[in-house]
């Protein structure tokens, strides 16, 4: 295991990638994005992951977004971890190399998911190839079986990664299976950093032992989760449960109308124009956004979502 001070603790915002109205990337908007997140107490971001639409971005676009975060992160006091994963491990290694140049705090990658690795050894061969692009940076495996459809026992993956990847330090665990999670958290005495990745189950993860999470809704509702952490740490479980229920209601409302496009629209309401979601996800129309705003207003979203 690599010795590092990096820990994905507290709230780590899985950031959106800004787009222009025509769907092309807009790295110039990253500065405003970083400024807003910093104003909300976010100190660490996870860029070009699922929320960042990396699966639908070109290699050059991912580099441009990374370079913009390098500048904005320094300016606004935010570190960033770069997700390099995709179906091309060669692209992943190139992105990891560029992450070093950009001053990233770490890298991460998920499993290739078109032709899928058929064994843990094959999976870890892919991860090791990408991680080797930045051997001096901490590396996380991004486990998200609902999207990759690659599902192996995380403790066995951790063991294989530790044996083959010198800079391996943990798993971004995006899987609501709390039984698997508690095993991963406590593997070898809790040696590895295992941030949680399912916002709707965040309180359950905290109760299981999570120290932090990486989430998309931490962008547009950070105060909700900060308050949840404070309530949990204070032993006010009733309040923490209430806040988690609000999280579930909020996400259900958004997801019913097209999650990615609506999330980006909400960020626009907070003064951060991130443009549309890229195809195939698409952009909600005016009527949908009006309904979204009304339904969110009905649960008090505009009172508790962000620090004002």
- pLDDT, residue 102, reads 98
Determine the Cα–Cα distance for residues 295 and 308; give it in Å rounded to an integer: 21
How far, in whole angstroms, is CA 181 from its chain's centroid? 17
Is residue 186 assigned to a domain? yes
- pLDDT, residue 162, reads 97
- Active site includes 308? no
- Given 139, 142, 192, 220, the catalytic residue: 142
Torsion of CA 297, 202, 267, 278, to 10 degrees: -120
Is residue 291 assigned to a domain? no
* Edge-to-edge order in the sheet of strand 10-14: 168-173, 139-143, 106-109, 79-83, 44-47, 10-14, 212-215
Number of domains in the chain: 1
Taking the CB of residue 94, how many other CB atoms lie within 10 A of it?
17
Are 112 and 153 spatial neighbours (Cβ–Cβ below 8 Å)?
no
pLDDT over 70, % of the chain: 99
Is residue 62 assigned to a domain? yes
Is residue 211 assigned to a domain? yes
- pLDDT, residue 282, reads 83
**How many degrees, rounded to 5, is the angle at CA 174 between CA 172 and CA 177?**
120
For residue 107, the cross-strand partners are 82, 139
Nearest CA among 33, 28, 88 for reference residue 57: 88
Is residue 150 assigned to a domain? yes
Domain with residue 20: its CATH number is: 3.20.20.70
Is residue 293 assigned to a domain? no
Is residue 87 assigned to a domain? yes
For 242-287, how does the pLDDT look when each residue is reduced to its tens digit (9 = 90+)?
Answer: 999 999 999 999 999 999 999 999 999 999 999 999 999 989 999 9
- Active site includes 142? yes
Are 213 and 196 spatial neighbours (Cβ–Cβ below 8 Å)?
yes
Per residue in 200-220, is it b (16+ CB within 10 Å) or e — as a string?
Answer: bbbbebbeeebbbbbbbbbbb
Is residue 244 assigned to a domain? no
Q: Does the pLDDT of residue 1 top 90, yes or no?
A: no
For 52-66, how does the pLDDT look when each residue is reduced to its tens digit (9 = 90+)?
Answer: 999 999 999 999 999
What range defines the domain where residue 94 resides? 10-221
- Given 98, 140, 172, 225, the catalytic residue: 172
- pLDDT, residue 250, reads 98
Mean pLDDT (the chain) is 97
Determine the Cα–Cα distance for residues 186 and 178; give it in Å rounded to an integer: 12
Q: Which of 3-12, 104-113, 164-173, 198-207 has the lowest mean pLDDT?
A: 3-12
For 87-98, how does the pLDDT look when each residue is reduced to its tens digit (9 = 90+)?
Answer: 999 999 999 999
- pLDDT, residue 2, reads 67
Q: Does the pLDDT of residue 229 top 90, yes or no?
A: yes
């Amino acid at each position: 295991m690599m010795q590092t001070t990096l820990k994905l603790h507290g709230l780590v915002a899985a950031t959106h990638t800004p787009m222009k109205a025509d769907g092309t990337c807009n790295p110039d908007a990253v500065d405003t994005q970083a400024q807003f997140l910093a104003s909300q107490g976010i100190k660490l971001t996870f860029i070009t992951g699922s929320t960042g639409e990396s699966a639908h971005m070109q290699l050059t676009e991912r580099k441009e977004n990374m370079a913009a975060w390098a500048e904005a992160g320094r300016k606004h006091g935010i570190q960033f971890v770069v997700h390099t994963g995709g179906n091309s491990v060669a692209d992943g290694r190139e992105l990891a190399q560029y992450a070093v140049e950009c001053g990233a705090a770490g890298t991460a990658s998920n499993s290739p998911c078109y032709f899928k690795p058929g064994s843990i050894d094959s999976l870890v061969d892919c991860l090791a190839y990408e991680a080797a692009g930045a051997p001096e940076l901490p590396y996380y495996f991004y486990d998200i079986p609902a999207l990759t459809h690659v599902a192996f026992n995380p403790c066995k993956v951790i063991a294989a990664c530790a044996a083959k990847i010198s800079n391996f330090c943990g798993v971004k665990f995006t899987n609501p299976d709390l039984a698997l999670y508690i095993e991963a958290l406590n593997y070898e005495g809790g040696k590895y950093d295992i941030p949680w990745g399912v916002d709707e189950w965040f309180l359950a993860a905290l109760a299981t032992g999570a120290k932090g999470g990486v989430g998309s809704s931490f962008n547009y509702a950070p105060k909700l989760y900060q308050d949840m952490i404070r309530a949990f740490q204070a032993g006010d479980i009733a309040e923490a449960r209430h806040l988690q229920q609000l999280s579930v209601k909020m996400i259900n409302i958004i997801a019913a109308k097209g999650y990615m496009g609506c999330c980006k629209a909400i960020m626009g309401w907070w003064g951060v124009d991130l443009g549309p979601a890229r195809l195939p996800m698409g952009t909600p129309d005016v009527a949908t956004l009006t309904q979204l705003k009304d339904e969110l207003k009905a649960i008090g979203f505009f009172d508790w979502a962000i620090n004002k």
